[in-house]
Amino acid sequence: QRQTVGVIFGGRSGEHEVSLRSAATILSALDPEKYNPLPIGITRAGQWVTGPAASEMLSPTSSPDAVAALDTDAPALAPPAKVLTALADVLPQLDVAIPVLHGTYGEDGTIQGLFEMLGLPYVGCGVLASATGMDKIVMKQLFRQSGLPVVDFRWFARHEWVANAQRLTDSIVEELGFPLFVKPANLGSSVGITRVDDVSNFKSAVELAARYDRRIIVEKGYDVREIEVSVLGNDHPEASLPGEIISSAAFYDYADKYSPDSQSQLVIPARLTPDQTAAIRALAVRAFQALDGAGLARVDFFLLPQTGEIMVNEINTMPGFTRISMYPKLWEASGRSLPSILNQLIDLALARHAEKT
Ligand code: ADP
Ligand code: MG
Ligand code: MG
């Protein structure tokens, strides 16, 4: 008896487009002998769709250019009654769900909470790890409290900025200096992030970030090597070999991540000393456990070339899952194929569910 696996994609997120590509990859890699995949789309307006409408969302011709799509304003929210009817139609058919949603309303604990309420097993992190991992402020505070090295940062709420822009600017610049990275607290794929090299660009950077979230984080910027590790497991998580991103832009921004003519490169395995590799893999597992991770996550690091210092930049609890994405590529280099990773993730989801009930 094959298991019905709901692959959920799209969503009300700045990373809607990326999710479509990740989901297409997962749908094509699920072992057809074991699983009956059911594509489930969530439109930008939050409407759940299945059948031909879901497949249509995944067809390459229906996706506008990813970068351009970021600037389209979110459409009016679908009415709750309509969403509930759609959910009642589709969710009872599932044995397990894979929420292949990046960013808000998907990677942030919201859909995980829905599944918990329904008693439906799902792949990946639970509510707590998803929510804390998505929020760069809380994530970095928790990492710091767990003794993990993170960059210096400050944060403030949008309303504080509105009331006190000049005072905030002065105190942050004095404390952190330049360059700075200004980011919305909750998001990913570098959406809404600006590198700021002098004070004249600070205001516009904050205003951009404030379009995406009510809380803004400002970090001390460094010249960094960027190293990433895939983590897989529940109680005994395993870390893959590290990979390195060689970005071709001023930093690893949205276009560099996803545009077809991006010149950025993945170096797998990263060129590191055996000691550095071991240290980074151990930190990846500690970061995963600091937030009570489950299933999977990709943990991203900064390596400061001058001093050799290693810092945890962030955890991504639903990392990019396209054919060319780091998460599956790191496992491939560590000897595990995409279909076998998906089998394992589903088994981990079922094991975690069985533990709860
Ligand atoms: P996202 O969740 O959107 O990927 P990140 O915090 O990883 O957000 O930032 C995106 C990219 O911006 C990083 O991969 C890196 O290239 C650059 N970056 C972010 N913060 C810093 C920093 N403090 N110093 C140097 N580069 C940074
Ligand atoms: Mg991220
Ligand atoms: Mg990142």
Tell whether the model's pLDDT for residue 132 goes beyond 80: yes
Q: What is the per-residue pLDDT across 15-39, written as a single tens digit (0 to 9) for each?
A: 898 999 999 999 999 999 999 999 9
- Buried b / exposed e over 60-73, threshold 16 CB at 10 Å, is eeeeeebeeebeee
Of 311, 267, 261, 317, the residue nearest 288 (C-alpha)? 317
Match domain 153-220 to its CATH number in 3.30.1490.20, 3.30.70.1350, 3.30.460.80, 3.30.230.10.
Answer: 3.30.1490.20
Contacts by residues 194-203 (CB-CB < 8 Å, ≥ 24 positions apart): 195/221, 195/250, 195/251, 196/221, 199/169, 199/173, 202/169, 202/172, 202/173, 203/165, 203/169
Tell me the pLDDT tens digit for each residue of 101-130.
998 888 999 999 999 999 999 999 999 999
Query: Which of 190, 191, 223, 298 has most ligand 1 atoms within 8 Å of its beta carbon, as the pocket-test mutant?
Result: 190
- Across the range 230-247, mean pLDDT stands at 97
CATH number, domain 134-149+223-336+345-356: 3.30.470.20
Q: What is the pLDDT of residue 61?
A: 62
Complex ipTM over 0.90: yes
Across 32-56, average pLDDT:
95
pLDDT above 80 (res 66): no
| pLDDT of 263 | 86
Percent composition of the chain: helix, strand, coil (DSSP 3-state, to 5): 45, 20, 35
List the residue whose alpha carbon is closest to atom 17 of ligand 1: 251
pLDDT of residue 325: 92
Per-residue pLDDT at 348: 98
Q: Are 218 and 172 in contact (CB under 8 A)?
A: yes
Helix (H) or strand (E) holding 182: strand 180-184
pLDDT on residue 323: 82
pLDDT band for 67, please (50, 70, 90 cuts): very low
| Mean pLDDT, residues 304-316 taken together | 96
Residue 102 CA to residue 20 CA, distance in Å, equals 10
Size (the chain), residues: 357
Phi, psi angle pair for 293, to nearest 5°? -65, 155
Can you tell me the distance from the alpha carbon of 35 to that of 46, in angstroms, rounded to the nearest whole number?
A: 26
Counting ligand 1 atoms within 8 A of each CB, the residue from 313, 315, 316, 318 with the most, and so the one to mutate, is 313
Domain 3-122, CATH: 3.40.50.20
- In a 13 Å sphere around the CA of 169, the CA atoms on its Cβ side amount to 16
- Rounded to whole angstroms, the Cα distance separating 187 from 135 reads 8
Provide the pLDDT for residue 68.
45
Tokens encoding 343: 């089998």
Ligand 2 centroid to 34 CA: how many Å? Answer: 32
pLDDT digits (tens, 9 = 90+) for 256-306: 888 888 888 999 999 999 999 999 999 999 999 999 999 999 999 999 999
Element at 265 (helix H, strand E): strand 265-267
pLDDT value of residue 63: 53
pLDDT at 73 over 70: no
Residue with tokens 């970095």: 140
Which residues does 167 contact at the CB level (< 8 Å), separation at least 6?
none
Residue nearest to atom 1 of ligand 1 (CA): 188
Backbone φ and ψ for 48, nearest 5 degrees, come out as -90, 130
Report whether residue 111 contacts ligand 1, using a CB cutoff of 6 Å: no
- Determine whether the shortest distance from the Cβ of 251 to ligand 1 is under 6 A: yes
pLDDT above 70 coverage of the chain, percent: 96
Distance CA 85, CA 230 (A): 37
Cα 193 to averaged position of ligand 1 atoms, centre (Å):
8
Instruction: Return the domain boundaries, the chain.
Output: 3-122, 134-149+223-336+345-356, 153-220
